[in-house]
Amino acid sequence: MGYLDGFKVTFKKLFEERTTTQYPKEKRPKAERMHGRHVLNRYEDGMEKCIGCELCAGVCPARCIYVRGADNPLDDPVSPGERYGFVYEINYLRCIHCDLCVEACPTEAITETKLFEFSFTNRDDAIYTKAELLVDDEGRPRHLPWEDWRPGEDEHTSAWMRATSPAGDADYVGRVGWSGELGYGVRAPERGQRGEAEDAARADEMAAAEAAAAGHRRAGDDHGAH
């Protein structure tokens, strides 16, 4: 780009309508997949999703996550697996919100909210414990005194985890491939990269193929019965 093209960009900006957000009284809308403060999720029956596998801690490039698993009590299990996250801590003085922990988690236990405006008066507050990270009985993140929560910032915490096309395979576009969450149920798939119209057409094709396959199975069963 030549210097004249640079002046052209600057000149165009002079005539664009600009808006000013009166921060902190109001905030600009945030992207659905924004990387903010983490939460630990529960299944729809209230059991914790974390199984204490420590994969999130192992993949973390900042080494800000500490997890220690423990065997589930036989009489009162915490998670559906053999183990659960007995200790779970995140040091937010080191976290870079890369979201690799969310990608690595095999049970969709750890996800991120849209909240990034939180400050601490001491270093101890910067280390979030399991009691602070685990969602409440309604599936909502716990709001701590030093966090500036606004409406909507605690919704869709699993947006980044809910990949539209796992492993880049377009055959999975529009298919639900995750478990339900407490307070939300099974979330709907996100719109695919090909657009809403293409996604709808693909969904119709998949439904027709499944119906045809079911019809073939029924025909085979009837033929076998005769």
Q: Where are the domains of the chain?
A: 30-165
The predicted pLDDT at position 7 comes to: 83
CATH class (in words) of the domain with range 30-165: alpha beta
Residue 103 has pLDDT above 70, yes or no: yes
The CA distance from 124 to 190, in Å, is 38
* 175-201 pLDDT per residue, tens: 777 788 898 888 776 665 555 666 677
Please name every residue paired with 185 in a beta bridge, in sequence order, or none if there are none. 181
The predicted pLDDT at position 214 comes to: 82
> Mean pLDDT, the chain, as a whole number?
84
Name the nearest CA neighbour of 173 among 191, 197, 161: 191
The CA distance from 180 to 163, in Å, is 15
Distances (CA, A) of 170 to 178, 200, 212: 17, 13, 21
Question: Per-residue pLDDT averaged across 139-159, rounded?
Answer: 86
φ/ψ region of 178 (left if φ > 0, alpha if ψ in -120 to 50, else beta) reads beta
pTM equals 0.73
The predicted pLDDT at position 50 comes to: 95
* 15-55 pLDDT per residue, tens: 777 778 888 888 888 887 788 999 999 999 999 999 999 99
